Structure 1
Amino acid sequence: MCAPSNSGWGCTRSEFPPVNSACRLTFSDYARLLRGNRNYRLLWLAQIVSELGDWLYSVVIYGLLLDRTGNASAVATAVVLQVLPQVLISPVAGVVNDRARRRTVMIAADVARFFIVLAMLWASHQPAVWPIYALLLVETLLWGFFEPGRSALLPNLTRGERETLAANTLASTTWSFNLAAGTALGGLLAVWLGRDIAFLINAFSFLVSAALLLGIRIEEPHAAAGTPLKPADLVDFTPMMEGFRYIAGDRRLLATLLAKTGLGFMGANYIILTIMGERMFPVAESPLLGMSLLMFARGLGALLGPWIGGYWAGASPPRLRRGILYGFFAAAAGYIALSGAPALGAAIACVTLAHGGGSVIWVFSTTMLQTQAEDRFRGRVFSADFAFLIVTMSLSAWLAGLAVDWGIPVRRVSLALGVLILVPAALWWSRAIPLWRDDEDS
């Protein structure tokens, strides 16, 4: 029988097998998680509806900007505005998520984004592109509050490293499925019914997400035990500096956080896949469909990577660390091979490999951070995690857009990206993994 529990799980501890760090995750782990944990199930459903809407309209926005301007840098600007403002808001967002109830922060962000995306529909019919850029900026600032809150809340919904890894793997593969399905559907709907339907679906997906989050019933110890959030906290840099000192004081935590910084180099994929889909691999004379299929491949790889990696690694800390290294190698190999892909089928295979590796890096490093960081600092840790990721992602996307507009072939840009990814791989192998050598020896 299921019984209430303070952890938010709907079943008693005896219904779950003992956690063995050497055990591999299986399908039953994910089924048990969704069946027995009502709170996580609601969070998962909210993720599905909101992310499907996001990817539906992202591919439409990139296609719209290319149609209006004909420049890769226009897409690069959109990508930068979708990610870089998170760096500016992350210190404040981290404090908010460590002082206020994270579920409340997420619901407020969802409701606000409903109105922003409705305004985006209006902007898509204006002759100038700057309203689209302005609204993307505001939407990104709101996402900067939502996502660290979700990552910091998740460990309160799970028990132990094994359940946390299962939840992260499921969340990542769900994101990947949403990317694959959303971008494919976005291209088809835009060709069939026009762009407006994608904006409307995305707007209302945020309301559905907010309604699902309202159903979560969970204690948030950091909010109950900590100092309540006050307006003055938003301009008080003391909590932010405490967070920075906490991260800097733990070399293992800092190294794990910087793994996603290396992953951010893959931000150039937004330009590479968009331009290749439009100019090299159009489908049925539709550039938008070619772009959608390459984005679909990105989602497919991100879907398969964590399932395969999770089965191999289980919750074994040494395998999680080695898995990050293998993920960098797969990402590098995928983009190096993409530079010579002769046809769309080969390109899809290369993109699938690259983003399978990238998704392994994301899931494994996130799981390690969630188990290493104290709950009272977790919001600030994940805000910093996203901030470092976003800096490299924005720089990579912007430089890729400029390179294409300067006449550098997109295949060479793909080759350069693959080689560049080998740099964080080398640093993770030579500088990060040795930090845990004492544990492995013991």
Structure 2
Amino acid sequence: MTRASDRVSFLGVLRIREFRALWLAELLSVLGDQLARVALAVLVFQRTDSAALTGLTYALTFVPSLIGGVLLAGWGDRRSRREVMVTADVIRAVLLALMIIPGVPLWVLCILVAAVTLFAGPFKAAQQALLPDVLPGERYMVGMAIRNITSQSVQVVAFAGGGVLVAVVTPTVGLAIDAATFAVSAILIWRGVRWRPTPARVAPLGSGWRSFAAGTAVGARAVWRDPALRTLLALNWLAGFYIVPEALAAPFAASIGAGAAAVGWLMAADPIGSVAGAVVFGRWVPEPVQVRALGLLGIAAGVPLVLCVLRPGLAPAIVLFALSGMLATGYNIQGTVSFVRRLPDDQRAQGCGLNSSGLITVQGLGALAAGVLADLVGPAHAIAVAGAAGALVAVPIAVAWSRAGRGAAPAVVKGAV
């Protein structure tokens, strides 16, 4: 049994120079991206006075990452992962700089937005594939908890402060700040992360788009043929059910007679719960216990949402949403850690890309289905149905994990506090 004194601390992980560079680079990118989303929405609406075009531009800050995460993720298995991240950052900085040129046509702006989002996929895949090398053993789990805490916190702050900043300055300045964050991120990674060679077992797959397609197929087969990887993928994709409270925050607030300010609190409940979950599970719950409890946590995350059938008021709803977010973080962080550890090194980036791309897809589909259902039965009942469905779907996943998960995560190496 792991003693408290043997566990790796948050501060101990932050002392690792390579992780600190990756962590700061990610924080800058998240902060800049969220600010840029606000700036783009304001800029397009100012130019067009069209809510539809504003929504389309906002969607372009998410959707192309699906393509990048699937087709370009293998780039991180065929090149130095530091090189992939730096290149993706530089490309995104240049594309954002082009957006601030006065008089850029709207259609060109949309193409540039899509291209920026496209390169988020290979960057994230390479980053996730590199982290187990930077943080061996138990440090990896703690590092993932730190990333979750800070990225969730930064998103809340950036969304809240982004609107104020864009109102004080201009949307163009907001885009320029985002370009600068990518440039600084590239410098941090280049200076702070040591070069590592391409994974040794990568087989030649040809060149061009056929090469990327072949790499995608190889990565998908590697995941599909391993029962533990399939189960972990399904576990992570339960987010398609548990995203529903955030997606229905506005109609839920209206249904209980709460004002517009309540929408922000309801949307912030899940990230707040996620931060709490990262602290609890990342620091106080031993990793072997988390591995065994993955399936149960997947089921438990849906239970608080089922209680929304009682049409709770604002305060109880916030508590229920936060509790669900905390439990979901318990399985999500450890599920991702176990998934990445089990992937072969030469297919790790491709597998990470498939996981994150699928996660975005199921969340989009879950939000869409929830909106349709809410029109039929009301938002409170739609949230309750999503929670019940998530818990029910998690039952066979939990059973499969109990069969396939033994040995899914290698023995962790104890680090110093």
Return the TM-score normalized by structure 1.
0.77
Work out the CA distance in 1 between the residues paired with 2:65 and 2:130: 19
Cα deviation 1:174-223 (Å, max 9, x = unaligned): 21221222222224435655655544433322222112111134242434
CA distance in 1: counterparts of 2:319 and 2:290, whole angstroms? 25
Which of 2, 12, 15 is 1:32 aligned to?
A: 12
Matching residue's letter, 2:321: V
Q: CA deviation at 1:109?
A: 1.7
**Quick one: distance in 2 between partners of 1:118 and 1:365?**
37
Distance change (3 Å), C-alpha of 1:436 and 1:155: closer
Give CA-to-partner distance per residue, 1:209-242, whole Å, 9 cap, x none.
1121111342424346646897436546443333
1:216 aligns with 2:192: yes
Deviations 1:277-330 (A, max 9, x none): 7897876xxx4x6544444333212211121122343221x5324145324423
The alignment status of 1:423 with 2:392, answered yes or no, reads yes
Quote how far apart the aligned CAs of 1:159 are. Answer: 1.8
Equivalent of 1:101 in 58, 73, 80: 80
Task: Check if 1:414 corresponds to 2:413.
Answer: no
SS in 1 for 2:147: helix
The amino acid that maps onto 1:49 is L
Could you give the per-residue CA deviations for residues 134-179 of structure 1, whole angstroms, max 9, x where no partner exists?
554323311111111110010110122x111111111111212212
User: What is the SS of the residue equivalent to 1:94?
Assistant: coil
Equivalent position SS for 1:169: helix
Tell whether 2:281 aligns with 1:301: no
Aligned-pair identity in percent equals 22
Partner SS for 2:73: helix
Q: Deviations over 1:375-404 (max 9, x none)?
A: 112112112212322221221123344556
In structure 2, the residue matched to 1:358 is 328
Which residue number in structure 2 is paired with residue 41 of structure 1?
A: 20
The residue aligned with 2:414 is none
Question: In the comparison of the two structures, how many residue pairs are matched?
Answer: 407
Higher mean displacement: 45-54 or 105-114: 105-114
CA shift at 1:333, angstroms? 1.4
CA shift at 1:263, angstroms?
1.8
Q: Deviations over 1:339-360 (max 9, x none)?
A: 82423x4443333222222322
Cα gap change, 1:426 to 1:293, in 2 (>3 Å):
same
CA contact (8 A) 2:40 2:58 kept: no
Q: Which runs of 5+ in 1 are unaligned?
A: 1-19
Distance (whole Å) between structure 1 residues aligned to residue 408 and residue 183 of structure 2: 46
RMSD, aligned α-carbons: 3.9
Does residue 144 of the first structure (1) align with residue 124 of the second (2)? no
Q: 2:71 aligns with which of 81, 92, 99?
A: 92
1:227-283 deviation per Cα after TM superposition (whole angstroms, max 9, x unaligned):
689743654644333323322221112211221122233344553235557897876
**Alpha-carbon offset, residue 118 of structure 1:** 4.9
Mapped partners of 2:296, 2:41: distance in 1: 32
Closer/same/farther in 2, CA of residues 424 and 312 from structure 1, 3 Å limit: farther
Gaps of 5+ in 2: 410-417
Whole-Å separation in 1 of the counterparts to 2:318 and 2:103: 30
Whichever residue aligns with residue 142 of structure 1, its letter is: F
Counterparts in 2 of 1:221-370, with a 5 A limit?
221-223=197-199, 226=202, 231-232=207-208, 234-235=210-211, 237-273=213-249, 287=260, 290-316=262-288, 318-334=289-305, 336-337=307-308, 340-343=311-314, 345-370=315-340
Shift of residue 56, structure 1, vs aligned partner: 3.2
> TM-score, with normalisation over the residues of structure 2?
0.81
What is the DSSP-based 3-state SS (H/G/I as helix, E as strand, rest coil) of the residue aligned with 1:215?
helix
Distance 2:83 2:93 in 1: 16
Q: 1:30 to 1:94 in 2, by over 3 A?
A: same
SS in 1 for 2:382: helix
Secondary structure of 1:218 counterpart: coil
